[in-house]
Structure 1
Amino acid sequence: MTIEDEELRSTFQAASEEHLQKLEAGLLHLEQNPQDLSGLEDLMREAHSLKGDARMLGVKDVATLAHQWEHLLGSIYRQEAEVSAEICDRLYQGLDAIAALVKEAVTGEPAGVDTFHTLARLMGSQPTESPAPASTPEPTPEPTEASTTSPAAASEPTPEPPAEPETEVPPSQTTTIQPTSAEPAASSTASSSNGEYRIDTIRVETRHLDTLMTQAGELTVTNVRFAHRLAELDEAIALWEDWSREAFNNRLNVHQTQRGDREQAIQQLQNLQDSVEERLEKLGKIITNLQKATYEDTTRLDTLTNDLEAGIRTLRLLPLSTIFNLMPRMVRDLSHQQQKQVNFAIEGGDTHADKRILEEIKDPLMHIIRNAIDHGLETPTERETAGKPAVGTLYLRAYQTANGIAIEVEDDGRGLDLDQIRQKALQKGLYREEELENMSTTQLQALIFEPGFSTSTTITEVSGRGVGLDVVRTNVERLKGSIEVESQVGRGSTIRIHLGTTLATAHVLLVECQSIPFALPVEFVDTSLFVSQDDIFAIEGRETILLEEHPVSVVSLAQILELPATNNHSDSPSNGRTSSKDLPCIVIKVGEEKLGLLVDKLLDEQDVILKPQSKLLRRIRNIAGATILGTGQVCMVLNPTDLLKSVRQSRTIQEVSQEVSETDTQMGSVLVVEDSIAIRTQEKRILESAGYEVTTAVDGLDGFNKLQTYSFDALVSDIQMPNMDGLELTRQIRQNPKYKELPIVLVTSMANEEDKRKGAQAGANAYITKSSFNQEVLLETLKRLV
């Protein structure tokens, strides 16, 4: 049955879903604390109100099930029955059936609920057949009620509350649900008729509406003031027009008078001068008053606009408990299904975020929690074998950050196995073995967000039927957020999501590249600095700078965005740089990964309104959206996550393209210093095939002597060698002004960050690790340096 009246249908939907949320939260608490019957009266009152609303609107099936639900709670309240897993299961099934029937009454979509079987289940039996609906009586009689919204005590005798138990019996249920804060019922109504979670209505306190109405009135007053300013402008223009006409006529009269009486001409000029002074004084007063008043009105309008924007944004902010309260029931059902014991704790449900963020983050959050229960937490037997408590712990927490909010899902389960991650990455062909060896722990753990990446050997219904966490990352990035993971084997994992509080506006850093403005969200900006060309060196074929003693790759923003090359950069103003060679560099940080972006200018930092892209341009690479600046220019808002991906892809393309870049012409002379004859021979062949003239040396001392005997265009050296190592050789070379500009490339097996830093400090121009060594990297590095 569908409610015909639209207003009543909307009211019933909002009220019913609030009742259902409170009933589910109360039932979860009762299952967790079977001896705590203090909340039973409230639960019975909620069920009673739901029953009354349904009966008033003719939704008989909902009223019937709600009445039996209330009656079953009453039997517990009167101590005629005890809280057990079997009774809780019956109540949960009844609650699910009521929710489906409410949706049917609101949307008209068939619920597929067999009311007779559900009713029989609530009563504790399992019927084999369902009689006709018309013959389905209510299981327990109830008195006639004058009001459908009165509390249960108004229509049924309420027994005296049972005495508090002296001791608390530990719960015997498999799932332990322990929210740390009792959040109020969600202040919104969720609609999912099309399979998507949508918040259709928002409850607003009247004081917020009163404030907005007051500000709207102030805006009207300001509008009237601007009308006065327009009238003053009209007065000034009219004065200017009269003045122009009179000046033209006086010019003709003076010209004609000059032919006759000279004294009369002088008098006319004097009169003209007096008139000009008078009008100038009058026009000056008008413009001065207009300027002052316009400044005041503009300031007032700016304040009002900001207050209105903040007020409207506040109306759209909802507590995260709106979606957090949906999770305990899911955790309870999944842990039962997986035969695991879970202590689920919720923190920070009062953290607020924009309505749309709540709508879009719900499904990714549920996927992460399902994944944590399915793959992260162990069974009680496995946990006890590992020396852990049989009950696993799962935290869902939220908190405010400097630029937005963070949501964390933390478990104390298995953690991520890095060896399994490496094997899976090799199996899927995502990276080479040498690349994986050079990855940090954070980078390896982040591979779980790659498409289709999963270390699980089985596909389960619970954690997404093989759909990996890449879907979660895609949804988070669509919300202009980022996601990261921290894990320790055997101790658990934490997945952390960073989001802004709103999607309507963003705080951005404006930069200029090829005379085009671009915006970067400031939450991804780690720092900004000016970089000299002399500070840039190469590590493994990548341009790099040292930032706080750590190497950070740098790349031109114009190169990433594939903008056409221009000569404007060399002619551009220094913009406060210490020298004409200094380049503005913005270091962005996504998770633990950093990248330096070289731009032409740093323009400004400001709040902008994000304009959503059309469906046709929804997923343009490197672009998150657009905004309109105060100058009227359209400015693209960049996507930092995409920028990092583009840099990785461009490097791969460059490596492939280098295979055909060698020519037969002489490229220059190179001194190769290497104590291993095998590596020395290989490097010599590679360089000679590329057109270089090669001289070899067996150690650092031999290389230094040959460098003083012959002239070379570049030096390629190992680090660990007898007599003189590569670092000492580099230092000795840099001490001689004659070799100050000589390109030095260090090729070594020492691949950690400290070794790379030492190489850069010694004066090397490039640093290539042997684990990732290939001829393309070596040739590209020399081509750039020589």
Structure 2
Amino acid sequence: MMIDDPEFRELFQIDSAEHIQNIESGILELEKDPANSEILKTIFREAHSMKGAAGLLGLKEIESITHVLEDQLGKLTKGYTRYQPEDADRIYYALDMLKLLVEEAVTGKKVNVDLAKTIAILHGHESLTKPQAAPPSEHKEVAVKESAAHDQVPQERTSSAVKETSEPRPVQNVPQAPVKKQEAVKFKIDTMRVDPVKLDSLLSYSGELTVSKNRIQKRASEIFDLLFQVEDQNKQWSDKKKIFLSLEKLAKQAGAPPSFLENIRSLYADEKRKWDSLVQRLSALKVKSIQDSAKLDLIASKIEEGIQNVRLLPLSSVFDIFPRTVRDMSRELGKEVYLTLEGGNVTADKLVIEELKDPLMHLLRNSLDHGIETRQEREKEQKPNPARIRIEGKQINNAIWLEIEDDGAGLNTEKIKQRAIQKELYSSETLDTFTETEIHEIIFHPGFSTKDQVTNVSGRGVGMDVVKTFVEKFKGNITIDSGLGIGTKFTLKLPINFSTNHVLIIHSQGWKYGIPTEYIEQSLFIRPEEIQNIDGKLVISWGDEPTRLISLRDYLPVSFEKGIQNKGNGSLSCIVLRHNGERLAVIVDSIIDKQEILLKPFGGILESVPKLAGTTILESGEICYMVQVPELLNEVRGKQILSNLSIESSQPKMVRNILIAEDSLITRVQIQKILEEHGYHVTTAIDGQEAFEKFQRGNFSLILTDVEMPRKDGIQLVRDIRSLTSGKEIPIVVLTSLGSEEQVARGKDAGANSYLIKSQFDQTVLLHTVERLLA
């Protein structure tokens, strides 16, 4: 029978799943402590609540089963009967049948449930011939994806109590008839219970955000208009001031009447008032814009935090699935295993919880089938029984850590190497150069398995690949800590926030790329003479060991250049990457800035673009491609390929000395840093007079000067330098905010070689100009 009302269908699905899960968890606890009366009372209440909900909705079959279940639990609670180990199997069987009936009530899909048989089993009138496994629908949910990826037919695990045959038959005597493949049901959470207070808070912040955004837009428009006027005044005010003073002086010398002098002063004062008014308005609006911007940032961050909190779910949402699975699987494998779950109250994003079930299931299967030994093997090795598997979730800084640890046999590196050679993944010579960590990571290779035979549990080589894909999808990483005969621990580290990414923006071949900062260990400049060639690989010395060096342009799918390349004067921009203990130095054209971006993953035909995870649009409107660091490291590993990076002669280059004259501290330091990072030696002066004195004492290859400076302005500095160097042409670059044609002409007449406007300042243009003039 299907529930008619869609809303009640959804509510009953959530409510019944919670009741069944709580009863299953309670039975597992009861198996450890049969005398625990509090657990019995809890289970009894859950069965009673589910019976009431089913009766209200007219679900007679569910009501009948839960009624009998309630009676049996009631007898145990009141002490009329004593708990027996076989009671757990009977209750689990009833719960499996309830899951099927709930599915029918929600979806309308007819299921085969023998009501009389289920009630007879609960009463103990009919015995179970073997430990109960999950019914087909439950098995579909937990089934691994290997069955869909291979042509082999999965063996159906069917409980003898669910078979419709009149007399039981051993499973091994049933002929292997072709079975239609069924796709694994993806674990998905369709509904979330959200605290209404959080939603009200988000709604309030959203309203404030809209108001602040409108205010800032208005302020920006006003400031934009004023900037044009101020810029015009900036270009003309200095000259007007000199003209007014000259007119007043000439008028006095010519004996002009007082009224004429007064008119000149009035005209000068009027111009000064206009200028002061514009400056005051601009300053006031600047302050208001800063305040509004700060308010907007605060509200935006609160909204982001609030939305993340709404999406958070406890890890127990997925952890609670595993105790029953481990119990059934360990019995099937003939092993004794005790599962410990820790950190179920740690919260993670809903998307992670939905995707987490399959990777954890594969890791559990790996531990149960590959890691945990049989009872006889453990007794021979003098290891305790039952074996232990621990799953723990914890939050460390801005990441979720998931640890899956067992005390089994550990990873056999020699067996992994032999199978890798057998599958022609690597040659024996290459494997000899691998570290133990790199050998362990071979198990993540698609199709890799150390099992000789494919079983219902493992052997297809898909499981660990699923784990790796999951971790890389969420920009995390996975590490393996294993000791032969001691056990294995897998640690998954996943970032908490998936909506935005902190990346370092770099240039390569004129294109902009982003590298996630969690993979970056250091950014630095290296000299060509620091690069060595060892066994056909370029390396640099970093820390206590040589680090492999590549040029990023050799490994990216974009093969053509765009725009002007920014090349330093003898130094190379380098980023040291680190992932899962592996380090790689990467040469890039230039390092631009660190930004927080919103990643847009590739879709459609671009989904399989190698070594790129997606794109983002920068504030400048340019497209930035995101580098997939783990995939890049994987391609570089083990390859003896010389980079196309041209190694220049190790002969020391002549150091170029540059003199900067600039009265603005911020501008002076910024230009000095840019030039020094590209191999130039820089001397600074705070005005034209100091610059001229230092020029007379030093030997400079290029001069870079501002115009408006105290004591001596830039134009006079250019004239003075040219008067001293009539036989030697030293390049001079004028950098100023005065961009009128008249000012540019004055600078060139004085002897400047180039004129750069501060409002149009660009690092690439500055460096290109310096390199051109020094060539």
TM bracket, shorter-chain basis: 0.5 to 0.7
CA distance in structure 2 between the partners assigned to 1:73 and 1:634 by the alignment: 64
Residue 87 (structure 1) shift: 0.8
- Per the alignment, in what secondary structure is the counterpart of residue 198 of structure 1? coil
Partner residue in 2 for 1:633: 622
CA distance in structure 1 between the partners assigned to 2:606 and 2:225 by the alignment: 48
Partner residue in 1 for 2:58: 58
User: Would you say 1:214 and 2:209 are equivalent positions?
Assistant: no
CA distance in structure 2 between the partners assigned to 1:237 and 1:591 by the alignment: 51
Q: Give the 3 Å change call, closer, same or farther, for CA 570–53 of structure 1 in structure 2.
A: closer
Letter in 2 for 1:640: V
- Does the 8 Å contact 1:396/1:408 carry over to 2? yes
Residue 623 (structure 1) shift: 1.0
Aligned partner of 1:474 among 469, 480, 488: 469
Partner residue in 1 for 2:545: 550
User: Would you say 1:496 and 2:491 are equivalent positions?
Assistant: yes
Aligned partner of 2:603 among 610, 614, 627: 614
Q: Deviations over 1:391-439 (max 9, x none)?
A: 1010111222344122111111111222211211111111111122222
Q: Give the 3 Å change call, closer, same or farther, for CA 444–194 of structure 1 in structure 2.
A: closer
Letter in 2 for 1:583: L
- Does the 8 Å contact 1:62/1:101 carry over to 2? yes
Q: Give the 3 Å change call, closer, same or farther, for CA 559–606 of structure 1 in structure 2.
A: same
In the TM superposition, 1:140-539 aligns within 5 A as 195-223=185-213, 225-226=215-216, 229=219, 280=275, 283-463=278-458, 465-539=460-534
Q: Give the 3 Å change call, closer, same or farther, for CA 524–110 of structure 1 in structure 2.
A: farther
- Per the alignment, in what secondary structure is the counterpart of residue 10 of structure 1? helix
Q: Deviations over 1:21-40 (max 9, x none)?
A: 21221111111211222221
CA distance in structure 1 between the partners assigned to 2:564 and 2:572 by the alignment: 10
- Does the 8 Å contact 1:379/1:390 carry over to 2? no
CA distance in structure 1 between the partners assigned to 2:522 and 2:125 by the alignment: 67
- Per the alignment, in what secondary structure is the counterpart of residue 39 of structure 1? helix
Partner residue in 2 for 1:681: none
Letter in 1 for 2:539: T
Letter in 2 for 1:214: S
Residue 588 (structure 1) shift: 1.6
Partner residue in 2 for 1:101: 101
- Does the 8 Å contact 1:421/1:455 carry over to 2? yes
CA distance in structure 1 between the partners assigned to 2:193 and 2:501 by the alignment: 25
- Does the 8 Å contact 2:430/2:638 carry over to 1? no
Q: Give the 3 Å change call, closer, same or farther, for CA 516–401 of structure 1 in structure 2.
A: farther
Partner residue in 2 for 1:24: 24
CA distance in structure 1 between the partners assigned to 2:228 and 2:431 by the alignment: 77
Larger mean CA deviation between 298-307 and 402-411 belongs to 402-411
Residue 522 (structure 1) shift: 1.9
Partner residue in 2 for 1:78: 78
Partner residue in 1 for 2:125: 125
Residue 629 (structure 1) shift: 2.2
- Does the 8 Å contact 2:503/2:517 carry over to 1? yes
Q: Deviations over 1:50-99 (max 9, x none)?
A: 11111111222222222222222112112233323311011111112212
Partner residue in 1 for 2:676: none
User: Would you say 1:2 and 2:2 are equivalent positions?
Assistant: yes
CA distance in structure 1 between the partners assigned to 2:519 and 2:504 by the alignment: 10
User: Would you say 1:644 and 2:633 are equivalent positions?
Assistant: yes
Q: Deviations over 1:612-632 (max 9, x none)?
A: 322332232101222222222
Letter in 1 for 2:208: E
- Does the 8 Å contact 2:452/2:459 carry over to 1? no
Larger mean CA deviation between 597-606 and 489-498 belongs to 597-606
Sequence identity percentage: 37
Residue 280 (structure 1) shift: 5.0
CA distance in structure 2 between the partners assigned to 1:647 and 1:238 by the alignment: 52
Residue 512 (structure 1) shift: 2.0
CA distance in structure 2 between the partners assigned to 1:312 and 1:36 by the alignment: 41
- Per the alignment, in what secondary structure is the counterpart of residue 362 of structure 2? helix
CA distance in structure 2 between the partners assigned to 1:364 and 1:233 by the alignment: 54
Q: Deviations over 1:321-374 (max 9, x none)?
A: 211121111111111222211111112222222111111121011011012111
Q: Give the 3 Å change call, closer, same or farther, for CA 269–6 of structure 1 in structure 2.
A: farther
CA distance in structure 2 between the partners assigned to 1:113 and 1:638 by the alignment: 53
CA distance in structure 1 between the partners assigned to 2:260 and 2:13 by the alignment: 89
Residue 464 (structure 1) shift: 6.2
Residue 276 (structure 1) shift: 5.9
Q: Deviations over 1:188-237 (max 9, x none)?
A: xxxx9981111122222344234323322322442453476378579979
CA RMSD of aligned residues (A): 3.3
Q: When the two structures are aligned, how many residues end up with a matched partner?
A: 566
Q: Give the 3 Å change call, closer, same or farther, for CA 230–443 of structure 1 in structure 2.
A: closer
- Does the 8 Å contact 1:400/1:406 carry over to 2? yes
Q: Give the 3 Å change call, closer, same or farther, for CA 546–338 of structure 1 in structure 2.
A: same
Uncovered stretches (5+) of structure 1, i.e. residues with no partner: 129-191, 244-262, 575-579, 658-786
Uncovered stretches (5+) of structure 2, i.e. residues with no partner: 129-181, 234-257, 645-775
Residue 457 (structure 1) shift: 2.1
- Per the alignment, in what secondary structure is the counterpart of residue 595 of structure 1? strand
Residue 388 (structure 1) shift: 0.7
Q: Give the 3 Å change call, closer, same or farther, for CA 68–463 of structure 1 in structure 2.
A: farther
- Does the 8 Å contact 2:55/2:63 carry over to 1? yes
- Per the alignment, in what secondary structure is the counterpart of residue 58 of structure 2? coil
Letter in 2 for 1:48: H
Q: Give the 3 Å change call, closer, same or farther, for CA 111–634 of structure 1 in structure 2.
A: farther
- Does the 8 Å contact 1:376/1:492 carry over to 2? yes
CA distance in structure 2 between the partners assigned to 1:58 and 1:440 by the alignment: 64
Residue 646 (structure 1) shift: 2.6
Letter in 2 for 1:331: V
Q: Give the 3 Å change call, closer, same or farther, for CA 54–376 of structure 1 in structure 2.
A: same
CA distance in structure 1 between the partners assigned to 2:507 and 2:619 by the alignment: 15
Q: Give the 3 Å change call, closer, same or farther, for CA 303–430 of structure 1 in structure 2.
A: same
Residue 268 (structure 1) shift: 10
CA distance in structure 2 between the partners assigned to 1:433 and 1:311 by the alignment: 53
Partner residue in 2 for 1:592: 581
Name which structure has the greater RCO, CA cutoff 8 Å, separation 6+: 1
Partner residue in 1 for 2:33: 33
- Per the alignment, in what secondary structure is the counterpart of residue 296 of structure 1? helix
- Per the alignment, in what secondary structure is the counterpart of residue 201 of structure 1? coil
When the two structures are superposed, what TM-score results if normalisation uses the length of structure 2? 0.67
Letter in 2 for 1:591: N
When the two structures are superposed, what TM-score results if normalisation uses the length of structure 1? 0.66
Letter in 2 for 1:338: L
